[in-house]
Amino acid sequence: MLEEALYAAEAVAAQHMYADEGLAALGRELARIRPQLALTVARGSSDHAASYFAYLAMQRLGVPVVSLPMSIVTLHQSPLAVKGQLAVAVSQSGQSPDLVDTMKALSDAGAHTVALVNKPHSPLAEACHWAAPLCAGEEKSVAATKSYITALSAVARLVAHWQNDAGLLAALENLPQRLTEAAAQDWSAAIKVLQPAERIMVVGRGLGFAVALEAALKFKETCAIQAEAFSGAEIKHGPMALIDEGYPLLVFAPRGPEQQGLIALAAEMRGRGAKVLLAAPADVDSRDLTLSVADDEALDPLLAIQSFYLMAARLSEARGLNPDVPRHLSKVTCTR
């Protein structure tokens, strides 16, 4: 897990070389056909990447994005009025039957189907009109790391080309260097706090919520910590009742309009006696963990999860676990 997470910068550079041209062509096609709705189809870490796509597409393009429950198609065979709309599947293996069958059905119903998949020669890629490789290379660790980061990168490339956003495209060219900088951040303070933890709440908002979701999953699968992710806007609608003296929270507060609210939330939770780990850029004095910043703030979540992955791998080992082989889990999950 540690080695693969460290490879993310090289994988993103490979994606720029080998996948960018195809994503540019797809972006131009989407600008031409102008879909009014997008569906995402994914599970696990890939679904968290789809969440990032949803926020980014809605923020920058104004296109509503909905996560499709696959059982609507695979178990209920419900007819979906999706002709002319966009459907994006995200996957590492491209093999799970529910993803493949759902995208086949959406293609048959007239949707413009896209697979962002690490294995381009896969059943999922064959089921879609368009397929773009993530270029992460083989992942041997069960816990996805570099494939998640390259999924976020592919999503950002697609939106940037769709919008013809020169600034975001330029920032993506510099992303490998920024990921290398993020890998050098010292998050050892989090290991000291979390080594004895049995539970944790992970908080984010906006584009950063995709990182909170992914971090919570990694806490569960690699560190055996019961973790839940919440939006900073939702935590006071019930979840805050769980927080008492010593309760650990990891709050991701990257740049953006959501940041000040998350910093204020961290301060409030500290006042309740919680063990708060505030991850924020270097200009935030109250931070506990430092977040690197990208050349476009839309890419800051990729740097945040890069720093987190390295900490999580070391935390797993500090808790006497093997992050590469989480118990009860396998690399390819097949559901229907």
Name residues whose C-beta falls within 8 Å of residue 209's C-beta, 6 or more positions apart in sequence. 51, 55, 229, 231
206 touches 258 (CB < 8 A): yes
122-139 burial: b if 16+ Cβ within 10 Å, else e: bbbbebbebbbbbbbeeb
DSSP label at residue 202: E
Which residue in 206, 203, 171 sits closest to 279, CA to CA? 203
Q: Count CA atoms within 13 Å of residue 134 on its CB side.
A: 32
Asked if residues 113 and 65 have their Cβ atoms less than 8 Å apart, the reply is no
Count of C-beta atoms within a 10 Å radius of residue 35:
18
Which pairing describes strands 226-231 and 199-204: parallel, antiparallel, or unpaired? Answer: parallel
C-alpha distances in angstroms, 37 versus 5, 82, 127, 180?
A: 33, 8, 20, 35
Kindly give the interhelix angle for 146-163 and 300-318, rounded to the nearest 10 degrees.
170
275 is catalytic: no
- For residues 103 and 112, the answer to whether their CB atoms sit within 8 Å is no
* SS3 track for 270-295: HHCCCEEEEEECCCCCCCCEECCCCC
Residues designated as active site: 331
